[in-house]
């Protein structure tokens, strides 16, 4: 979720706007995936949020390394969509392409994301 989407979700369950900052910190800074870990939130609020929401991280569903040391990671999201990250090493540096969306309009031949129609 973007910060704006998180704020909308917080408002939709009747919580005050400052809760967005607290949740953002726990999820995106601390890496919490369980509301019980969010100890700066009151226990009844943690229980309420756990009944309504779920926090999940994307998973690496496939990892590849080629003979030229190029590495690829296929990331699968909770909704089943996928995006790929590619690292291309060179002698004195490297390039990395991190897909920030599902699907891409650039159609790079080395990246799975570029083979998908832009979804989001």
25-70 confidence digits (pLDDT tens): 999 999 999 999 999 999 999 999 999 999 998 899 999 999 999 9
Q: Is residue 120 part of a domain?
A: no
What are the distances in angstroms from CA 57 to CA 23, 32, 75, 118?
15, 10, 10, 21
Q: For the segment 93-110, what is each residue's pLDDT rounded down to a tens digit?
A: 999 988 877 877 777 777
The conformation of residue 66, written as its DSSP 8-state character, comes to: -
Residues 95 and 68 in one domain: yes
- Please indicate, yes or no, whether residues 32 and 65 belong to a single structural domain of this protein: no
Q: What percent of the chain has pLDDT over 70?
A: 98
Count of structural domains within the chain: 2
pLDDT at position 102 is 83
Domain containing 20 equals: 3-52
Within a domain: residue 10?
yes
């Amino acid at each position: 979720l973007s910060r704006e989407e998180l704020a909308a979700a917080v408002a939709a369950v009747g919580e005050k706007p400052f809760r967005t900052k607290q949740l953002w910190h726990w999820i995106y800074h601390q890496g919490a995936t369980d509301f019980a870990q969010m100890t700066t939130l009151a226990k009844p609020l943690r229980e309420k949020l756990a009944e309504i929401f779920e926090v999940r991280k994307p998973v690496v569903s496939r990892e590849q390394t080629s003979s030229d040391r190029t590495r690829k990671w296929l990331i699968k999201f909770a909704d089943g969509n996928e995006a790929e990250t590619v690292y291309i090493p060179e002698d004195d540096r490297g390039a990395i392409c991190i897909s920030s969306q599902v699907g891409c309009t650039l159609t790079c031949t080395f990246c799975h994301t570029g083979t998908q129609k832009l979804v989001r």
